[in-house]
Chains A and B, each alone.
Chain A
Amino acid sequence: MSTGRISSLYISLLVFGLTFAFVPEPALGQSDDLNIYGFFQAQGRYVDSEDASGDGGYSSFRLPQLNLFFAKEFGDDFGAFVSTEFLNSYNSGEDFGIARLGEGWVQYEYGRALKVKGGLLIPKFNNLNEIKNRTPLLPYITRPFVYEQSYKNLFENGDYVPQRAYGQVYGTLPVGDVEVDYAAYVGNSDPGFLVSGDANYPVSGTDTTYSKLFGGRVGVNYKGVKAGVSGTVDEANMREVNLSIADVSVPAGLGDVDRYRIGADLSFDVNDFFAEGEVISVVYDLSDKQEAQWDGLRAQPTFAGVLGEDLDQLFYYGVAGYQITDKFDVHVLYNAVEESRSDTDLDSYGAGVSYRPVFPIRLKAGYRYTTIRDGAFNSDFFSLAASVTF
């Protein structure tokens, strides 16, 4: 790696960070008016990777996330919220990145015990799913694997966590000193099914997914300690099995496979310590016929040593940190993915700091060490970022 390259990158990032350090704090609060606000995370990183081809280091700036929100309340009971997302340095002129409607829902609130959302929404699953894209809330720069849009080429995020639902009932019930949270939702199956109509279907722009997603979460909250279990049931489109980490797509022809996501989360923020952990197990329930098909594929010389015993997936992560001052915190993080379908393990650990010169601006610095297949590929990531709410 070139020292000059790194130095110039870091100097540029320092100037970039200082530019953000002197922006006045916007005042936002309750109002019947339309509230327009948003956030973005801009970052630069140096990646020092090693594989069979040798040193593959590079540095780059990017804007992985920019969200614009529109929120409005209607009287005492109703509110609407729209989130538009521009991902991975979106540029339509260069056919680069993603622009999409992240959320668009209306909510009815009977009280704390009962709220109903209808429209396009991010469902409650574990603790992180709902806020995975809200980078100003996260102490780290790069999110855990299955929540990070930048790893789209490595993982189908929709395999591990439900990306969208269309109706959700949720609320909080006090039981003595403990608060019990619940949520139940319904939607279409994962984006593997997402199509915008075809010649046989007359209405364009319609998701013709015929399989539905059902899911929910039950959790408890006691004096800053939160724990919960989540689950979903839907069908996965396995006409092609994507082994993204192994860079292979297998025309498995398994059709629709019943899929069960089971998650557990634990988090706390007590005194100046904070920690959060999650486990997600994705189980694919193959019929006897589908199992025989999969075994047949594995026996083919082309896929020998490529396909694993089953299709199941496992993800787990933990982050622990300490709030040194109101503005400054440090953390360590570990997360891993085990994909049985390709016999591939991927894990990553790292550490980082974040600092708020003013509350809406969170400057972050972090280091990650990532390995795939027990060290067959490994990378060091050095990142700096500014996460800004406006």
Chain B
Amino acid sequence: MSRAFRFAIPTTANSIDRVMKHLFFLCTALLFASLAGTSHAQVAVIAHEDVPVEQTDAETLEDVYLLEQNKWDNGSKIVRFDLNAENDTKTAFYDHLGQSVSDAKKVWLRKKLSGEAQPPEKASPGQVVDKVSTTSAAIGYVSADAVTDAVKVIATIE
């Protein structure tokens, strides 16, 4: 009994040691996983095929999404689509514009209440590509892995 007990102690200590190592690796993995979760996904700014823009910059996108620029160069009225829920894609997009989502909402409210322009139409991540591809002069943004051949990508945000 005492012998068994004598050998049991180091065995238990080894087990604890192994468990601690596993816990350490698990925590490390969870930490990296959580950090990965808060990093911004790659965002693609997409447009309908008839939009007369092939590449655009953050300044132009800011003017478009803050309702300052309402027409493309060919005179067609811009139709904007915005994600209906806040997620990494949306945050990354507005960060790129130098705005927070709530700042953009305030600008939209001012434009809407003064009758100058209506805010972008809301759509789910799954709907944005479909809506942009089927709406003339439309622009939207989605996670880069959601892009299809039905739309053209006019900017990519890392």
Contact = CB atoms under 8 A, between A and B. Distances in A.
Nearest to A117: B115
B112 A28 contact: yes
A129 to B, nearest CB: 11
A58 interface: no
B109 A30 contact: no
Contacts of A111: 71
Q: Which range holds the interface residue count of chain B?
A: 20 to 34
Interface stretch (A130-138, A208-216, A295-303, A339-347): A130-138
B18 interface: no
Interface stretch (B38-46, B76-84, B146-154): B76-84
B48 to A, nearest CB: 14
Interface string B63-105: 1000011110001110110101000000000000000101001
A76 B71 CA distance: 8
Interface stretch (B2-10, B23-31, B118-126): B118-126
Interface residues of A, number: 34
Contacts of B12: none
B76 A76 contact: yes
Given A30-B120, A137-B110, A326-B100, A69 B77 contact: no
A109 B71 contact: yes
Nearest to B78: A30
Interface stretch (A31-39, A192-200, A305-313, A363-371): A31-39
Contacts, number: 71
Contacts of A172: 68
Nearest to B110: A137
B85 to A, nearest CB: 12
A222 interface: no
Contacts of B119: 28-30
Contact of B70 (A81, A112, A326): A112
Nearest to B71: A111
Nearest to A326: B102
Given A76-B75, A112-B68, A112-B70, A136 B109 contact: yes
Interface of A: 27-31, 35, 37, 39, 67, 69, 71, 73, 75-77, 79, 81, 83, 103, 105, 107, 109, 111-112, 130-131, 134, 136-137, 172, 326-327, 359, 389
List of 5 A-B pairs having minimum Cβ-Cβ separation, nearest first: A81-B115, A29-B121, A326-B102, A76-B77, A134-B113
